[in-house]
Structure 1
Amino acid sequence: MIEAARTENESRSVSLKDLMVGQVLKPTGVSMMLMLLQQVGGINAVIFYAVDIFKDANTGLDENVSAIVIAAVQVVFVLVSTLLVERLGRKILLVVSELGMAVSLLALGIYFYIKEHEPEKAATLGWLPLTSLVLYIITYNLAMGPLPWTMMGELLPPHVKSITSSIATAFCWGLGFLIAKFFKDMLAVLTSYGCYWLFSACSFAGFIYCLLVVPETKGKSLEEIQRHFSK
């Protein structure tokens, strides 16, 4: 309780100067970037418009049942993530998650491209939209869903955590709201396959970022993490 009170008092007296040092800016930047990547991978567009996506795909599968399958997979793999994260570490799961999201969204975009330009061929690929979205939901919930929140708590220094985590959280949900709100407008401008390929490109960029920049925090103390960002 004494430590908690001390941390709270420190956070209340944080100045702008305290936020502008490398040991705060760098982990805050990583945390913000993970929040950005979480949203630009298109998760809110996929979840909010799952029924519409399956309806537009015209696969012959019941779109409501398909959306229920997606929701069930989401619940299961959130639990799977909690079992794997302490065994495999954060970084490898984030890398696999982003790569899986990129591949699945690429495949979904390919289906809609074929549907628009070669509808007869698309009729033989009715399994692809559901398969792509199931893979997308699996890989998203493996890491990119839960781990940005986990790592925010691990990366941010305690004396600025209340401020920087609030900024990162507001940024995340604000961006998610904008993507969900304007997804229909994006469809009108970019077409469906263009949107999914854009989300795929963002996820592939996230794969590179997680591979090259994001540090592994599994089993590391706060001092070790801060030492990493002081380099």
Structure 2
Amino acid sequence: MRLDRFLAETTDLTRSLAKKALHRGEVSVDGEVVKNPAIQLGEANRVRWRGQPLALVGLRYVMLHKPAGVECTSRRTLYPRAVDLIDLPKAERLQPVGRLDVETTGLVLLSDDGQWSHRVTAPRRRCGKVYRVTLAEPLEGPALAAAQACFAEGLLLDGEAKPTRPAELAMREPRVAAVTLHEGKYHQVRRMFAAIGNHVVALHREAVGPLTLGDLPEGEWRALSEAEVAAF
């Protein structure tokens, strides 16, 4: 890796600011001041900036209990971002592994490991995601049976060329449902209930695959264990 890129990866410096720091003699490699931004570093090289040792950040895997009013996006908008709640170096490099809309709460995974993220989200891997859904109207009796059949068979949503993949619908209370999806279309749960004539009042993701929020408070995050990462 080039030295200027290494500095940009391990500090708040941009590549251009890294070159200026090098020109000022602020960077040393293995104890020697280096000003050439193009030198290639190996794993054994030790780099310091202003006397502080630098090290590359490894791959991170994080679970967040997302509150309402937070967006799962990399760009800055009117809302705070999920990554803004993560207190880690270079947190902006973490990408949501399957997004929730701004008003939906619950479990969000974030990582800077693209291959792992793909394993979690790829529909063919059938990683189930469980949602608690609060409905405007109760769903019982024949209407519930019809809805369960529609979810199991797949629904053709507005603007989609293919029906949804089979999903599971169960009722916990007359107006509280549990839905398990194996894909992640845009606003899918809300659109599926709209397609059967109901309206989602509140939506909360409880689980992704084997992972649940447990006692993680809303707005808080934690790193995944090695076993949790390997579960996917």
TM-score tier by shorter-chain length is: under 0.3
Larger Rg: 2
Highest RCO, 1 vs 2 (Cα 8 Å, sep ≥ 6): 1
For normalisation by structure 2, the TM-score amounts to 0.21
Q: As a proportion of its length, which structure holds more helix?
A: 1
